[in-house]
Every structure is written in C-alpha cells, then in structure tokens.
Amino acid sequence: MAQRLFADPPYPAAAIRGEETLYPVHRIFCVGRNYAEHAKEMGVEVDREAPFYFLKDAQALVPSGAVLPYPCGTSNYHYEMELVVALGAPLFRAGTAEAGKAVFGYACGLDMTRRDLQLEARAKGRPWDLGKNFERSAVLAPILRAAAVAEIGPQRIWLSVDGAIRQEAHLSDLVWRVDELLSHLSHYYHLQPGDLVFTGTPAGVGAVTPGAVIAGGIDGLPDVTLTIGAAE
C-alpha cells in the first residue's frame, strides 16, 4: 500500500465558548464588500446582483489573544472586523430557510489583510491571494452556539486600536444576510460542518504597526483581540 511522503498537517480547531470540545475548521470562506460604507471607502460599489467571495486556507486560523509578527511582504497591514458563521450541517443547493438552520454558531473574527498587495492585484485584475490568503491572517474568538443567539441584526459590531474606536456599525447593515450568503454559497460548493464564513467588514479599516493592540466585539459574542509584534 502506498504511503504518504510526509505527515499531513492537522486541521486547526476553534474554541467553543464554555466547552472543552473544539470545532475543527476545514475551509474559510470570506465575503467581499458586504457593507456599503466599506465598499465606498475602498472606492468600489456593492454588487447587489450577488455576493462574491475569496478563500483563506484553514491553516491561516489563529486564536484570539495571539501576538502575531508583522507579516512579510507588506508595508500596509490592515484589520477587518467581521461576524463569522460556523456551519453545523451539510448544505447543497439550499434555500434560505434550510441555510439558516444549518448554523452551528457565531464568532468575532479578524480578516487581516496585506492591503497594498490586495490593491495591486485588484488594479491588475488578478486574484487577491497574496493580500488575503496568507499565514495567520484569520483570527477567531471562541464560537458561541447559535442556540444562544436570539437573532442576527440589531447587534453592534466594533473594533478599536489601542483603545480608540476605528470601526462601528450594526449587523443589520450587512448587504447580504447570513441565510442569504449560506444559500448562495451552497449553489457553488457542498458546504459541510467545519466551514467558516467571514461575512464582511464595516467601514473604518486601516493600517496597524508593530505594538498595536486590536480589540473587536459584537454584542453578545466573545470579543476578539490581537497584538501586532515586531516584523519577522
């Protein structure tokens, strides 16, 4: 029987609030331009015909509270505070009602971005991978089970850098709701438990430098924190 040349890296796993069990993460989907004001500050418009996505490797995941080195290859490293949805059931070609019932839980997340590389790729019509899908670029707080969340919409979402508020909005400002996103994605992928969806960021994104302390929150969910260390 053929043997693998080297061992597979284990899938990362996320903490679940109040539990000792972990949530294995297989894929990370990210939604672009899902807040109109953020799209405006980036000099683009929301595509209201359909949401669009990019992916991060599961190995990009790091837990809240980490100290991460300033990443290589960039001089414009940005935070993006987001609501993250964790799937708890398979979905394929699902309607919104079925999609909404497949949510395992919700969490606060940071989509860390090498903005200069993203914008350079965007200007040339190239994929965003160098700007978005890099090591330790998806920071995740513990997941709160969906049963503990009455509804998604009225909650305030915010982010601060060194104690100063930089992003602030409400989840009702999302262009595409959670159930709409999951339904749409399920027409292009066989979604499974272990899939995370970062649902987009509000206006107010900006650069951080070594020594910065980032904190973000959504009403009712565990906060996410990150400290930027020295460059590697």
Q: Tell me the domain boundaries of the chain.
A: 13-229
DSSP letter for 35, please.
Answer: B
Helix (H, G, I), strand (E, B) or coil at 112: coil
Over residues 88-111, the pLDDT tens digits come to 999 999 999 999 999 999 999 999
113-114 and 77-79: which strand pairing?
Answer: antiparallel
Structure confidence at residue 39 (pLDDT): 77
Residue 180 sits at the vertex; the CA angle it makes with 40 and 175, to the nearest 5 degrees, is 15
Reported as half-sphere exposure (CB side, CA atoms, 13 A), residue 144 has a value of: 19
CA distance 102 to 191: 10
Among 35-39, 76-80, 153-157, name the one with the lowest average pLDDT: 35-39
- Tell me which amino acid residue 116 is: D
Q: What is the mean pLDDT of the chain?
A: 96
Residue 122 sits at the vertex; the CA angle it makes with 35 and 83, to the nearest 5 degrees, is 30
DSSP letter for 191, please.
Answer: B
Q: What percent of the chain has pLDDT over 90?
A: 88
Statement: residue 223 has pLDDT above 90: yes
Statement: residue 29 has pLDDT above 90: yes
Structure confidence at residue 1 (pLDDT): 85
DSSP letter for 173, please.
Answer: G
Mean predicted confidence (pLDDT) in 136-143: 98
Structure confidence at residue 37 (pLDDT): 81
Q: What are phi and psi of 63, to 5 degrees?
A: -80, 155
Tokens representing 12?
């990362």
Residue 59: how many CB atoms within 10 A of its CB?
17
Split at pLDDT 50, 70, 90, the class of 46 is confident
Cα first-last separation, the chain: 41
Tokens representing 74?
């960039």
Structure confidence at residue 127 (pLDDT): 95
Assigned superfamily of 13-229? Fumarylacetoacetase-like, C-terminal domain (3.90.850.10)
Structure confidence at residue 200 (pLDDT): 97
Structure confidence at residue 216 (pLDDT): 98
CA distance 72 to 75: 8
Q: What percent of the chain has pLDDT over 70?
A: 100
Nearest to 56, CA basis, from 115, 112, 119: 112
DSSP letter for 78, please.
Answer: E
Structure confidence at residue 212 (pLDDT): 98
Structure confidence at residue 49 (pLDDT): 83
Strand partners, 78: 113, 207
Tokens representing 144?
């709160």
Helix (H, G, I), strand (E, B) or coil at 98: helix
